[in-house]
Structures are given as C-alpha cells and as structure tokens.
Amino acid sequence: MQMSTMQSATILMQLVEGIREIHPKMEAQKVTALCIVAREPGISMSALSHRLGLTLSAASRNVSLLTDDPKRRSLGLVVRYEDPQDRRNKRVKLNERGEAFWQAMSRTLDDSLALIGG
C-alpha cells in the first residue's frame, strides 16, 4: 500500500515534533548524522563524514553537538570513543539517552504507520 502525500507529511511532522522535544532547533544535518549512527553503531568518524558528504572536521563538529560536551550546548545522545584496535580512529554510537530517544522515534513511526494501515 502506497502512502498518500498527506499521510507521509503527517508521519514526518510527528517525527520532527519528537526531535524538537530534544532540541527545538536541531538542524537536518545533525538529524541525518544521528540516523546514520543509530543504523550503524560504532561507525568510524571517517565513514560518518563520508556518508554525510562532509569533511572530517565538519562531521566532528556535528558529532560534538550530539555528544554530552560540557563546553557546548550539546544534546547528549551519542558517545565518541577510541577504536580499540587503532587509537587514532574515533568511533560513534548512541548512548543510553540516544537509544531511548531512538526507541521513542521508532514507536512514533510504528504508530503512524499502523494508523494508515502500513
């Protein structure tokens, strides 16, 4: 069953509202980074920057705002850590708060799809 434009817009709106509960002005680039990290736990920073189409430093700035960085107004949804096999490489995964947020977004999506019979 294909969704109508109205149904798609409704689902997207519900997801955006959920994201705004975490941070009212979260940019799409950070949402995309968060989605990639949720889909690929432990992704390397270099792979994440490639997927985002950003330089490593730009991707790192996005991740810094998603971490629990006391120097910035960060969101506390991901953790960055050293690759145990190569300490020069950094990896990223959702932390406990990020997992809870992701589960809430998944439930919102599931509930929306159930309402339209998807």
CATH number of the domain residue 84 falls in: 1.10.10.10
Q: Which domain holds residue 23?
A: 5-111
Query: Is-contact 91 43, C-beta < 8 A?
Result: yes
Question: 116 lies in a domain?
Answer: no
Question: 118 lies in a domain?
Answer: no
Question: 117 lies in a domain?
Answer: no
Question: By CB neighbour count within 10 A (0-12 exposed, 13-18 middle, 19+ buried), where does 73 fall?
Answer: exposed
Question: 51 lies in a domain?
Answer: yes
Residue 108: HSE in the Cβ half-sphere, 13 Å Cα cutoff: 17
Question: 68 lies in a domain?
Answer: yes
User: What proportion of the chain, given as a percentage, has pLDDT over 70?
Assistant: 96
19-37 pLDDT per residue, tens: 888 778 788 888 899 999 9
- Supply the pTM of this predicted model: 0.83
CA distances (Å), 35 to each of 5, 15, 52, 100, in order?
23, 12, 11, 13
61-97 pLDDT per residue, tens: 999 999 987 777 788 999 999 999 999 999 999 999 9
| Count of the separate structural domains present in the chain | 1
Question: 55 lies in a domain?
Answer: yes
